Amino acid sequence: MSIHPVFVLLLLSHVLGDYYLQPRAMATGKAEKCLWLIGHGMVHTICMSIVLMAGIGFTTNIFWILLVANVSHTLIDFLKRFVKWKSFSLDQLAHLAVLVTVWAVWGQSLNVKEFFLLEFTYLQKSAILIVLGLLCILRPIGVLIEQGDVWDFSRNKNSLDESQKGAGKMIGYLERTVVYFLLLVGQYAAIAFVIAAKSVARFPEIGKDGQGRMLAEYYLIGTLLSMISVFTTTLLLGLLR
C-alpha cells in the first residue's frame, strides 16, 4: 500500500462520517443549531471509532487520535458560522490537516490488521484503497462540484427542474464510477468512448439559443470537472497503472 494504512483508515472514517452518514438536513442545520452540530460530531466520532477499532484495535494512541480528531472536527464546523466567505474546499483542507497531524503524532507507529491489507489479485491494488477511492469520487466530489468552489453552476441549475437535477447527479455518479474502474484496469482509451457516448446523448439538448448555450456550458464544464477529479483522486491514492 503506497499510503500509510492508518492514514487510509482515517480518511475512510472521515469520508463515511462527513458525507455518507450526514444527511442533508444535518449538513444545513448544523450551521444554525448546536443540536445538529453536536449530533454530527457524535456520528463522526462513532464512525471513526468503529473503523479504527476494527482496523487496529484500542490503544492509548487510538484514544488520543479519536479525541483530538473529533473535537477538532466539531470545532472547525462550529467556527464556520463566523466566517463570511464560506468555502467547501478550505473546510475540507482544515479537516485533512487535522487528520495528517494526528496520524503524524500518534498513528505512524500503529499496525493495521492483516484483513485491511488484502489486495484484489487481478488489480494488484489494495482493496481498502479501491473502496476509499470509489467513496471519494461519488459524494465528496459531487458536493465539491455542487458547492461552486471551482465553477458557479447556480445560473445553469436555476433553469433546470428538480427531475433534471436529480438525473444529472446520477449521471455524474455513474460516469465517474465507470471512468474510475477503467483507470484501475488501465483501459484509458475506453474513457474516450464514455465521453463520446454522453456527448451523443446530450447533443439534441444543445441548441443555438441562449438556453442551449447554457446547457452546453453546464455539460462541458461539469464533465471535465468530473474527469479531472477522478484522475486526480486515482493518482493521489496511487491506484493508476
Give the pLDDT of residue 85. 67
Q: What is 110-144 written as a DSSP string?
A: ----GGGG-EETTTTEEHHHHHHHHHHHHHHHHHH
Give the pLDDT of residue 5. 94
Cell 433534471, residue located = 164
What is the DSSP code (8-state) at residue 161? Answer: -
Percentage of the chain surpassing pLDDT 70?
A: 84
Give the pLDDT of residue 120. 82
Note the pTM of the prediction, 2 decimals. Answer: 0.88
Give the pLDDT of residue 29. 87
Buried b (16+ CB within 10 A) or exposed e, 153-165: beebeeebeeeee
Cα 110 to Cα 34: distance, rounded to the nearest angstrom: 34
pLDDT, averaged in runs of 10, over the chain (241 residues) = 89 96 88 90 96 95 97 93 79 95 96 88 86 95 82 61 66 91 91 80 58 68 88 92 67
Give the pLDDT of residue 102. 97
